[in-house]
Protein backbone atom coordinates (compact mmCIF):
# COMPACT_ATOMS: atom_id res chain seq x y z
CA UNK A 1 0.00 0.00 0.00
CA UNK A 2 1.25 3.48 -0.94
CA UNK A 3 -0.31 6.86 -0.23
CA UNK A 4 0.14 9.87 -2.49
CA UNK A 5 -0.66 13.49 -1.81
CA UNK A 6 -2.50 14.92 -4.81
CA UNK A 7 -3.53 18.47 -5.58
CA UNK A 8 -6.83 18.20 -7.43
CA UNK A 9 -7.93 21.61 -8.73
CA UNK A 10 -5.61 23.10 -6.11
CA UNK A 11 -7.15 21.15 -3.18
CA UNK A 12 -5.19 18.62 -1.08
CA UNK A 13 -6.39 15.02 -1.43
CA UNK A 14 -4.85 11.95 0.15
CA UNK A 15 -5.13 8.91 -2.11
CA UNK A 16 -4.10 5.34 -1.52
CA UNK A 17 -2.78 3.08 -4.24
CA UNK A 18 -3.56 -0.61 -4.02
CA UNK A 19 -2.38 -2.69 -6.95
CA UNK A 20 -2.79 -0.27 -9.86
CA UNK A 21 -5.99 1.29 -8.46
CA UNK A 22 -6.19 4.68 -6.76
CA UNK A 23 -8.71 5.51 -4.03
CA UNK A 24 -9.51 9.06 -2.90
CA UNK A 25 -9.53 8.95 0.91
CA UNK A 26 -10.47 12.64 1.14
CA UNK A 27 -13.68 12.17 -0.88
CA UNK A 28 -14.63 9.33 1.47
CA UNK A 29 -13.72 11.31 4.58
CA UNK A 30 -13.16 15.07 4.08
CA UNK A 31 -11.29 15.27 7.41
CA UNK A 32 -8.47 13.14 5.95
CA UNK A 33 -6.53 15.46 3.65
CA UNK A 34 -2.93 14.48 4.47
CA UNK A 35 -1.05 11.48 5.76
CA UNK A 36 -0.68 13.28 9.11
CA UNK A 37 -4.50 13.49 9.35
CA UNK A 38 -4.64 9.73 8.71
CA UNK A 39 -1.92 9.08 11.31
CA UNK A 40 -3.75 11.22 13.90
CA UNK A 41 -7.08 9.48 13.19
CA UNK A 42 -5.62 5.96 13.33
CA UNK A 43 -3.79 6.84 16.59
CA UNK A 44 -7.07 8.14 18.11
CA UNK A 45 -8.87 4.96 17.07
CA UNK A 46 -5.88 2.87 18.23
CA UNK A 47 -5.98 1.16 14.85
CA UNK A 48 -2.92 0.37 12.71
CA UNK A 49 -2.55 2.93 9.90
CA UNK A 50 -2.88 0.41 7.05
CA UNK A 51 -6.05 -1.02 8.56
CA UNK A 52 -7.50 2.48 8.97
CA UNK A 53 -6.71 3.33 5.33
CA UNK A 54 -8.15 -0.02 4.16
CA UNK A 55 -11.48 0.62 5.93
CA UNK A 56 -11.86 3.92 4.05
CA UNK A 57 -10.68 2.45 0.76
CA UNK A 58 -13.25 -0.33 0.96
CA UNK A 59 -16.01 2.30 0.99
CA UNK A 60 -15.07 4.16 -2.23
CA UNK A 61 -14.88 3.38 -5.94
CA UNK A 62 -11.42 3.68 -7.50
CA UNK A 63 -10.48 6.84 -9.40
CA UNK A 64 -10.62 6.53 -13.21
CA UNK A 65 -6.87 7.20 -13.58
CA UNK A 66 -3.53 5.94 -12.24
CA UNK A 67 -0.38 7.57 -10.85
CA UNK A 68 1.45 6.66 -14.08
CA UNK A 69 -1.15 8.61 -16.10
CA UNK A 70 -0.77 11.66 -13.85
CA UNK A 71 3.02 11.54 -14.28
CA UNK A 72 2.86 10.97 -18.05
CA UNK A 73 0.65 14.09 -18.39
CA UNK A 74 -0.59 12.78 -21.73
CA UNK A 75 -4.29 13.12 -20.80
CA UNK A 76 -5.39 16.81 -20.78
CA UNK A 77 -8.24 15.89 -18.41
CA UNK A 78 -5.58 15.31 -15.76
CA UNK A 79 -4.09 18.82 -16.10
CA UNK A 80 -5.79 19.80 -12.84
CA UNK A 81 -4.25 16.82 -10.95
CA UNK A 82 -0.70 17.16 -9.60
CA UNK A 83 1.45 14.92 -7.40
CA UNK A 84 2.62 16.85 -4.37
CA UNK A 85 5.05 16.27 -1.48
CA UNK A 86 3.71 13.17 0.40
CA UNK A 87 3.97 14.92 3.74
CA UNK A 88 5.02 18.42 4.82
CA UNK A 89 7.78 17.50 7.29
CA UNK A 90 7.95 19.27 10.64
CA UNK A 91 11.69 18.70 10.65
CA UNK A 92 14.13 16.74 8.50
CA UNK A 93 17.06 15.06 10.23
CA UNK A 94 19.84 13.12 8.54
CA UNK A 95 22.13 10.36 9.69
CA UNK A 96 25.64 10.39 8.25
CA UNK A 97 28.37 7.87 7.54
CA UNK A 98 26.08 4.85 7.92
CA UNK A 99 27.59 3.01 4.92
CA UNK A 100 31.27 2.04 4.48
CA UNK A 101 31.24 3.71 1.04
CA UNK A 102 30.22 7.03 2.61
CA UNK A 103 32.90 6.76 5.29
CA UNK A 104 35.66 6.02 2.73
CA UNK A 105 34.65 8.91 0.48
CA UNK A 106 34.47 11.47 3.32
CA UNK A 107 37.95 10.39 4.47
CA UNK A 108 39.24 11.05 0.93
CA UNK A 109 37.69 14.52 0.65
CA UNK A 110 38.62 15.69 4.15
CA UNK A 111 41.71 17.12 5.78
CA UNK A 112 40.57 15.52 9.03
CA UNK A 113 39.77 11.96 7.89
CA UNK A 114 39.65 10.30 11.30
CA UNK A 115 36.37 12.04 12.34
CA UNK A 116 34.59 9.87 9.77
CA UNK A 117 36.14 6.56 10.86
CA UNK A 118 35.42 7.43 14.46
CA UNK A 119 31.72 8.14 13.85
CA UNK A 120 31.30 5.07 11.61
CA UNK A 121 32.65 2.86 14.39
CA UNK A 122 31.13 4.66 17.40
CA UNK A 123 28.00 3.63 19.24
CA UNK A 124 26.48 7.12 18.88
CA UNK A 125 25.55 7.92 15.24
CA UNK A 126 26.04 11.22 13.44
CA UNK A 127 22.65 13.00 13.30
CA UNK A 128 22.14 16.51 12.01
CA UNK A 129 19.15 18.78 11.42
CA UNK A 130 18.76 19.27 7.67
CA UNK A 131 15.57 21.29 7.58
CA UNK A 132 12.80 22.78 9.68
CA UNK A 133 10.35 22.43 6.80
CA UNK A 134 10.72 24.96 4.01
CA UNK A 135 13.86 23.70 2.22
CA UNK A 136 12.36 20.32 1.32
CA UNK A 137 10.50 19.70 -1.91
CA UNK A 138 8.55 16.79 -3.31
CA UNK A 139 8.51 14.82 -6.56
CA UNK A 140 9.41 16.86 -9.67
CA UNK A 141 10.18 20.01 -7.61
CA UNK A 142 13.63 21.44 -8.43
CA UNK A 143 16.52 20.51 -6.12
CA UNK A 144 19.29 23.02 -5.51
CA UNK A 145 23.05 23.19 -5.84
CA UNK A 146 24.73 26.10 -4.04
CA UNK A 147 26.06 28.88 -6.26
CA UNK A 148 29.19 29.08 -4.08
CA UNK A 149 30.00 25.34 -4.28
CA UNK A 150 32.05 23.70 -7.02
CA UNK A 151 31.33 20.06 -6.14
CA UNK A 152 27.69 19.10 -5.51
CA UNK A 153 26.17 15.63 -5.28
CA UNK A 154 22.82 13.96 -4.74
CA UNK A 155 22.64 11.55 -1.78
CA UNK A 156 19.98 8.85 -2.25
CA UNK A 157 18.70 7.76 1.15
CA UNK A 158 15.88 5.74 2.67
CA UNK A 159 13.64 8.25 4.50
CA UNK A 160 11.78 7.20 7.66
CA UNK A 161 8.73 9.07 8.97
CA UNK A 162 8.64 9.40 12.75
CA UNK A 163 5.32 9.75 14.60
CA UNK A 164 4.81 9.31 18.34
CA UNK A 165 8.53 8.57 18.66
CA UNK A 166 8.45 5.56 16.30
CA UNK A 167 8.92 4.91 12.61
CA UNK A 168 5.49 4.69 10.97
CA UNK A 169 6.42 4.76 7.30
CA UNK A 170 9.01 5.26 4.59
CA UNK A 171 9.72 7.40 1.53
CA UNK A 172 12.64 8.04 -0.81
CA UNK A 173 14.91 10.95 0.20
CA UNK A 174 17.67 13.02 -1.39
CA UNK A 175 20.17 14.76 0.94
CA UNK A 176 21.70 17.06 -1.72
CA UNK A 177 25.14 18.19 -0.51
CA UNK A 178 28.16 20.33 -1.37
CA UNK A 179 31.19 18.11 -0.99
CA UNK A 180 33.86 20.80 -1.39
CA UNK A 181 32.34 22.83 1.46
CA UNK A 182 31.96 19.71 3.65
CA UNK A 183 35.54 18.57 2.84
CA UNK A 184 37.13 21.95 3.58
CA UNK A 185 36.27 21.68 7.27
CA UNK A 186 33.82 19.40 9.18
CA UNK A 187 32.54 22.52 10.97
CA UNK A 188 31.13 23.69 7.63
CA UNK A 189 28.73 20.71 7.60
CA UNK A 190 25.61 22.84 8.15
CA UNK A 191 26.46 25.02 5.13
CA UNK A 192 27.25 22.00 2.97
CA UNK A 193 23.92 20.44 3.85
CA UNK A 194 21.40 23.16 4.68
CA UNK A 195 20.46 25.65 1.99
CA UNK A 196 17.51 26.38 -0.32
CA UNK A 197 16.08 23.29 -2.06
CA UNK A 198 18.74 21.02 -0.55
CA UNK A 199 16.33 18.17 0.16
CA UNK A 200 13.60 16.23 -1.55
CA UNK A 201 11.27 13.46 -0.42
CA UNK A 202 8.65 11.33 -2.16
CA UNK A 203 7.11 10.17 -4.37
CA UNK A 204 4.74 8.52 -1.87
CA UNK A 205 4.48 7.34 1.74
CA UNK A 206 4.54 3.60 2.46
CA UNK A 207 3.26 2.51 5.90
CA UNK A 208 5.84 0.61 7.94
CA UNK A 209 3.83 -2.62 7.85
CA UNK A 210 3.66 -2.54 4.02
CA UNK A 211 7.36 -2.10 3.25
CA UNK A 212 8.71 -5.59 3.99
CA UNK A 213 12.14 -5.57 5.65
CA UNK A 214 13.48 -1.97 5.64
CA UNK A 215 16.99 -3.38 6.06
CA UNK A 216 16.78 -5.22 2.75
CA UNK A 217 15.76 -2.69 0.10
CA UNK A 218 17.59 -2.04 -3.16
CA UNK A 219 18.41 1.62 -3.89
CA UNK A 220 19.28 2.76 -7.43
CA UNK A 221 20.22 6.26 -8.55
CA UNK A 222 20.61 7.59 -12.09
CA UNK A 223 21.60 11.09 -13.14
CA UNK A 224 20.77 12.28 -16.66
CA UNK A 225 22.25 15.24 -18.51
CA UNK A 226 20.69 16.17 -21.88
CA UNK A 227 18.77 12.85 -21.75
CA UNK A 228 22.01 10.83 -21.43
CA UNK A 229 22.74 8.82 -18.29
CA UNK A 230 25.94 10.25 -16.81
CA UNK A 231 25.82 8.32 -13.51
CA UNK A 232 24.23 5.09 -12.38
CA UNK A 233 24.79 3.53 -8.97
CA UNK A 234 23.22 0.97 -6.73
CA UNK A 235 23.28 -0.22 -3.13
CA UNK A 236 21.08 -2.01 -0.61
CA UNK A 237 19.97 -0.95 2.87
CA UNK A 238 21.46 -4.23 4.13
CA UNK A 239 24.84 -2.43 3.86
CA UNK A 240 23.89 0.03 6.60
CA UNK A 241 26.05 -0.25 9.70
CA UNK A 242 23.06 0.74 11.89
CA UNK A 243 19.35 -0.02 11.43
CA UNK A 244 16.64 2.60 10.82
CA UNK A 245 15.16 1.66 14.18
CA UNK A 246 18.47 2.30 15.96
CA UNK A 247 18.86 5.70 14.23
CA UNK A 248 15.33 6.70 15.20
CA UNK A 249 15.95 5.64 18.82
CA UNK A 250 19.03 7.89 18.97
CA UNK A 251 17.13 10.79 17.41
CA UNK A 252 14.39 10.47 20.04
CA UNK A 253 16.77 10.38 23.04
CA UNK A 254 16.26 13.47 25.23
CA UNK A 255 14.64 15.13 22.23
CA UNK A 256 10.92 15.65 21.61
CA UNK A 257 10.70 14.86 17.92
CA UNK A 258 7.60 16.49 16.35
CA UNK A 259 5.14 14.12 14.69
CA UNK A 260 5.79 13.97 10.97
CA UNK A 261 9.54 14.38 11.27
CA UNK A 262 11.57 12.78 8.48
CA UNK A 263 14.83 10.97 9.18
CA UNK A 264 17.14 10.28 6.21
CA UNK A 265 19.34 7.29 6.90
CA UNK A 266 22.59 8.07 5.05
CA UNK A 267 23.92 7.40 1.59
CA UNK A 268 25.62 4.29 0.26
CA UNK A 269 25.93 5.57 -3.33
CA UNK A 270 28.65 8.14 -3.93
CA UNK A 271 29.48 9.25 -7.50
CA UNK A 272 33.18 9.39 -8.49
CA UNK A 273 35.28 12.38 -7.44
CA UNK A 274 35.20 13.99 -10.90
CA UNK A 275 31.39 14.08 -10.83
CA UNK A 276 29.43 17.19 -9.90
CA UNK A 277 25.78 18.05 -10.47
CA UNK A 278 24.99 20.85 -12.94
CA UNK A 279 21.91 22.94 -13.50
CA UNK A 280 19.48 21.04 -15.75
CA UNK A 281 20.55 17.54 -14.62
CA UNK A 282 17.75 15.16 -13.68
CA UNK A 283 18.22 12.89 -10.64
CA UNK A 284 16.08 9.76 -10.20
CA UNK A 285 16.26 7.64 -7.07
CA UNK A 286 14.38 4.38 -6.85
CA UNK A 287 13.87 2.38 -3.65
CA UNK A 288 12.37 -1.09 -3.76
CA UNK A 289 8.74 -1.28 -2.54
CA UNK A 290 8.45 2.54 -2.50
CA UNK A 291 8.93 4.10 -5.95
CA UNK A 292 11.00 6.59 -7.92
CA UNK A 293 11.73 10.17 -6.81
CA UNK A 294 12.73 12.44 -9.72
CA UNK A 295 13.95 16.03 -9.45
CA UNK A 296 15.69 18.43 -11.83
CA UNK A 297 18.62 20.50 -10.60
CA UNK A 298 18.71 24.30 -10.35
CA UNK A 299 21.41 26.61 -9.04
CA UNK A 300 20.42 28.52 -5.88
Q: 10 Å Cβ neighbour count for 256? A: 6
Instruction: State how beta strands 11-18 and 21-24 pair.
Output: antiparallel
- Under the rule (CB under 5 A), what is the footprint of Mg ion? 155, 175, 267
Beta strand 228-236 with 126-131 is unpaired
Q: Which does 97 bind (CB under 5 to 8 A by kind): ligand DO4, Mg ion, none?
A: ligand DO4
Complex with ligand DO4: residue 13 or 130, whichever CB lies closer: 130
Give the DSSP per-residue string, the chain.
-EEEEEEETTEEEEEEEETTEEEEHHHH-TT--SHHHHHHHHHHTT--HHHHHHHHHTTSPPPSS-HHHHHHT--GGGTTEEEE-S---S-EEEEES-SHHHHHHHHHH-SSTHHHHHHHHSSSPEEEEEESSTTEE-TTSPEEE-TT-S-EE--EEEEEEEETTEEEEEEEEEE-EEHHHHHH-GGGHHHHH-STT-EEEEEEEEEGGGS--TTS-EEEEEEEETTEEEEEEEEEGGG-SS-HHHHHHHHHTT--PPTTEEEE---S----TT----TT-EEEEEETTTEEEEEEEEE-
CB of 52 to Mg ion, least distance (A): 32
Among 175, 198, 263, 285, binds ligand DO4 (CB under 6 A): 175
Phi, psi of 65, deg, nearest 5: -145, 165
Residue closer to ligand DO4 (CB basis): 25 or 94: 94
- Residue 267 as a binder of ligand DO4 (CB under 6 A): the answer is yes
Closest CB to ligand DO4 belongs to which residue? 96
> DSSP character for 134?
T
130 counts as binding ligand DO4 under rule CB under 6 A: no
- Decide whether 42 or 102 has the Cβ nearer to ligand DO4: 102
CB of 165 to Mg ion, least distance (A): 23
Q: Which does 233 bind (CB under 5 to 8 A by kind): Mg ion, ligand DO4, none?
A: none
Q: Which is nearer to Mg ion, 207 or 233 (CB)?
A: 233
Per-residue x/- track, 188-227, ligand DO4 (CB under 6 A)? -x--------------------------------------
102 binds, among Mg ion, ligand DO4, none (CB under 5 to 8 A by kind): ligand DO4
Is there binding between residue 156 and ligand DO4 (CB under 6 A)?
no
Q: Does 266 bind ligand DO4 (CB under 6 A)?
A: yes
Task: Pick the stretch among 28-36, 90-98, 131-139, 202-210 that binds ligand DO4 (CB under 6 A).
Answer: 90-98
Instruction: Compute the least distance from the CB of residue 42 to ligand DO4, in Å.
Output: 31
Choice between 49 and 94, CB closer to ligand DO4: 94
Residue 127 interacts with ligand DO4 (CB under 6 A): yes or no: no
Site residues, ligand DO4 (CB under 6 A): 94, 96-97, 102, 106, 126, 155, 175, 189, 266-267
Amino acid sequence: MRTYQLLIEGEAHLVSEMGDKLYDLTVANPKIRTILDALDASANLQMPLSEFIKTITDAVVPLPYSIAEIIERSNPLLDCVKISIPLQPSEVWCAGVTYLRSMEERKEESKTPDVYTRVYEAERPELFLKDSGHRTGGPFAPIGIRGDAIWSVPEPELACVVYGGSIVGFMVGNDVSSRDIEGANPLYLAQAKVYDRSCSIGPCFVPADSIGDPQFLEIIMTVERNNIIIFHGQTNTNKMVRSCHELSEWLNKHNQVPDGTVLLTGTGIVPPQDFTLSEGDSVSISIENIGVLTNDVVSV
